[in-house]
Amino acid sequence: MPDLVIATSDDPLEPEQYRFVATDAWWLGSFGPYQHLTEHRLRTWIPAEPERDWLLDRSLTGRQRWLTGSLEQAREDGFELHDVAPVGLFRAPFGEFHRDRDDDCIELPQRRRGSWQVPTPEFLDRLPRDPAALLERLEADHPGRWAAPFSGAVDALRTCLVPAELRAVLYRALTGLPGVTVADETVAFDGRECVVLVHDAGRTRTELMIDIADGQFAGERDTTRIDSRCGLPVDTLVGETAVHTAVVDELGEQPDR
């Protein structure tokens, strides 16, 4: 695998503090033959001690970008135009956000079982710190689908909970996967200079953005590689996120950027 070296660091987090993760996303939605991107805002407060309450503030801005058809056409064809993403404030220990039948948040104070999708400190501590061994672990944990090892790694990075020394190893490990390359140049992304890992295979090209300032996950961008069956031409943007992190003292506190 290429000798990729990315400087990584984490802001110190005191026991009573919170890691704040802000995600601004455009995600794909479909109403039959009509495709659109909807803007989502997620703000998450993760305590240094995970058994304390986490807080998720999730909202829709109301902004949309129609890729095929239009809002009017979808309405005329009788589609119910609503997004299924739950919105509101959700609070629970261990980040266990759930909804009951009445659409209310319930709290389950149980320690999460670690995985790539739910990377607990215990799970992350057990991962190898050697790039080749970590690549083997990624592939072993994601059998079957060829794209799954890359997707699994991005799932973990997306939480912004992967510690600095492990992020550096994980980025190197990802370059050993088929279809993954390092872009020739850094790019300016959402006001930050980023190294880009590109997963260029299958139906979708994924660009993983890595902030060169601290090696933290900065976001991702997905574009079509081929004309899709639903009418989206090649090189159509079908998803994009920008992610910022900070350390704050209070639950609900938002940092100044």
In whole angstroms, give the CA distance from residue 92 to residue 53: 5
Q: What is the pLDDT of residue 98?
A: 66
Domain boundaries, the chain: 18-248
Taking the alpha carbons of 174, 179, 180, 181 in that order, is the dihedral positive or negative? positive
SS3 content of the chain, % helix, strand, coil (to 5): 20, 40, 45
Q: What is the pLDDT of residue 83?
A: 67
Q: What phi and psi, each to the nearest 5 degrees, are found at residue 132?
A: -65, -45
In whole angstroms, give the CA distance from residue 19 to residue 160: 9
Q: What is the pLDDT of residue 256?
A: 81
Across the chain, which has 257 residues, the per-10-residue mean pLDDT values are 85 97 95 91 96 95 92 87 81 78 46 87 96 96 84 96 98 95 94 96 93 97 87 93 97 89
Could you list the beta-strand ranges (E) of the chain. Answer: 18-31, 34-47, 53-68, 88-93, 97-99, 105-107, 180-182, 187-189, 192-201, 204-211, 217-224, 237-248
- Judge contact between 209 and 218, C-beta under 8 A: yes
Q: What is the pLDDT of residue 19?
A: 98
Q: What is the pLDDT of residue 82?
A: 72
In whole angstroms, give the CA distance from residue 163 to residue 27: 27
Taking the alpha carbons of 147, 148, 150, 154 in that order, is the dihedral positive or negative? positive
Q: What is the pLDDT of residue 99?
A: 46
Q: Is 21 helix (H, G, I), strand (E, B) or coil?
A: strand
In whole angstroms, give the CA distance from residue 118 to residue 181: 26
Q: What is the pLDDT of residue 96?
A: 86
Q: Is 135 helix (H, G, I), strand (E, B) or coil?
A: helix
- Closest by Cα among 137, 142, 113, 118 to 127: 137
